[in-house]
Amino acid sequence: MKMKLIAAASLALCSSLSFAATAKLACDPSTPLEMINTCAPEAQLFIGGSSALGGALTTVVPADLFDTSKPLITVVDGAGSSQSKEVSAWYGMSLSALTGGVSKRLFVVYNKNNGSAAGVSMVMAKTDPKNAKGTNIAESQVVAVGPVAGARNSCIETAGGTLERPKFTCTSTAWTQADLAISDVHSTELYALYSQAAKAKVTDYTQKPLALQGFGIAVNWNFYQALQRQNIADKLIADTCEGTVSAACQPSIRSSDYATLISKNASSFPKSAAIFVSGDATALNLARRDDLSGTQASSNIFFANNACGIVPAKSKGLGGGLQIAGALESVAGKLTIDELAVSGDVTTRLNSSVGYAIGAVGLGSSQDDAVGKWKWVRIDGQSPNYNPDGTKAYKNRTQFANGNYPFAMVAFGIYPNAFFKKPVAGSYKLQLSEAVIAGLRDSTLHDLTGVAYIDGVADTDAAKPKQSKVTRLNGNNCSPLIRP
């Protein structure tokens, strides 16, 4: 596991860099520049977790939490930390209904570094009573706005903004824990958590199912063509398909072959790409996610025969299926296994690999149909992004929304019970969290890519479904897809 959140050793920074700044510097909200540098937020929400749902979050948060009739600042983390490129943040005036009937200065941060389990770990740490003694804290370093240690912040305007949507880069950061986690699977289905955060009980936090989220297996262009050659030999696609991007020419892999690839049993490791392509000794790069990833947990659950009952010792009682191949199991010149922190790193690795490369990615990503770019493949003949008639699956979801493609999991929003049992006066965290959850699960609010909704109104256009026709029983991703 790659530990990228920073824990208790860094807590000394909290006294000077805090969301809840108490500086005496006069707040000047007259312009976005003055507000971001001189005004402490009046309400704030820190979201951590899923990178597969990253695009969805960056749609929902600005639209559903802020008064967009007023300037809304996009905050860029310019601190240069290992996490900064995975941070999205916004500062503006809240929708009054979410903050006690009065619009407040609202700051929202979303950190997707390491994915689902990183966010869940921070929420669990937040609920752990031992936190009061300064122990068992897993925190994340995220960008901060407003005055810092009593002085004006150093945020500067950045190119790419507009008068209504200005953009500022800030270099001040704060150590904090997530108020809300977005996870690709239920918390007990994750493979791993940060050990210092895994002390809280499931009953200490609320988990709400969001939507059915689709996943797919993606390959780089070289491997796509090699798989096409194998499929041509197997008479699955036409002889003229090699090098062609279309529904009819999309190659297929066997789920049993991919399960062999990601299982830890060394005797089943492929010596090369021959596990997928007969006789092909080309080195294979498995661009997988790290153990904190909900996408990786989804892959483990789905390809390991829904083996959620197999609980490895290192997983501390969590699910997520069989133990999985890691970087130490790479075989020089034959098999390279990379553990990557976010979904974007997987697609970047696929595009940059010169040999053969393969990995699992959420369907919130969009395939580039251009020659040379990464592509989805079929799983046991079933396509994630093409309908049976050859048309594009609407928003990358028609197939799994209708129950015709199986690699899909119920995602969850997770927050501490303390938000509604003992709410902090003026924090509005419950209202803000619920608004994010509604934005991800309600089909009447958005039309998000890679998401089939469980709430909202019935579909009126069968060719463009939003509602999921299938689900997993009670949000249990180890159960099969069923029609409720």
Are residues 77 and 99 in contact, defined by beta-carbon separation less than 8 angstroms?
no
Are residues 361 and 216 in contact, defined by beta-carbon separation less than 8 angstroms?
yes
Express the helix, strand and coil content of the chain in percent, nearest 5 each.
30, 25, 45
Report the C-alpha gap between 368 and 228 in whole angstroms.
Answer: 18
Residue 268 has pLDDT above 90, yes or no: no
Residues 6+ apart with CB under 8 A from 160: 167
Report the C-alpha gap between 17 and 378 in whole angstroms.
Answer: 48
Residue 22 has pLDDT above 90, yes or no: no
Are residues 223 and 356 in contact, defined by beta-carbon separation less than 8 angstroms?
yes
Residue 276 has pLDDT above 80, yes or no: yes
Across 426-444, average pLDDT: 96
Tell me which amino acid residue 190 is: L
- Looking at the DSSP bridge assignments, the partners of residue 481 are 472
For residue range 245-259, list pLDDT tens digits in order: 999 999 999 999 998
Residue 309 phi/psi, 5-degree rounding, is -75, -15
Across 199-218, average pLDDT: 89
Are residues 228 and 251 in contact, defined by beta-carbon separation less than 8 angstroms?
yes
Max mean pLDDT among 63-77, 181-195, 250-264, 451-465 falls in 63-77
For residue range 26-70, list pLDDT tens digits in order: 999 999 999 999 999 999 999 999 999 999 999 999 999 999 999
Of the chain, the percentage scoring pLDDT greater than 90 comes to: 64
- Helices and strands (DSSP H and E) totals, the chain: 10, 21
Asked which of 275-279, 324-328, 361-365, 366-370 is least confident by mean pLDDT, the reply is 324-328
Residue 2 has pLDDT above 70, yes or no: no
pLDDT of residue 5: 44
> Residue for token digits 């707040």?
27
- Looking at the DSSP bridge assignments, the partners of residue 107 are 44, 91
Residue 309 tokens, joined: 């009952």
Query: CA torsion, points 230, 236, 239, 241, in degrees to nearest 10?
Result: -80
pLDDT of residue 382: 97
What is the Cα gyration radius of the chain?
A: 23
* 441 vs 199 pLDDT, higher one: 441
Query: CA torsion, points 123, 347, 290, 384, in degrees to nearest 10?
Result: 80
* 270 vs 408 pLDDT, higher one: 408
Report the C-alpha gap between 251 and 242 in whole angstroms.
Answer: 9
Residue 195 has pLDDT above 70, yes or no: no
pLDDT of residue 269: 60
pLDDT of residue 94: 98
Residue 55 tokens, joined: 């695009």
**What mean pLDDT value characterizes the chain?**
87
Report the C-alpha gap between 408 and 472 in whole angstroms.
Answer: 9
Max mean pLDDT among 9-13, 72-76, 136-140, 269-273 falls in 72-76
pLDDT of residue 467: 95
pLDDT confidence tier of residue 462, bands split at 50, 70 and 90 = confident
Asked which of 134-138, 367-371, 388-392 is least confident by mean pLDDT, the reply is 134-138
Local structure of 478: helix, strand or coil: coil
| Element at 49 (helix H, strand E) | strand 43-49
Residue 4 has pLDDT above 90, yes or no: no
pLDDT of residue 219: 97
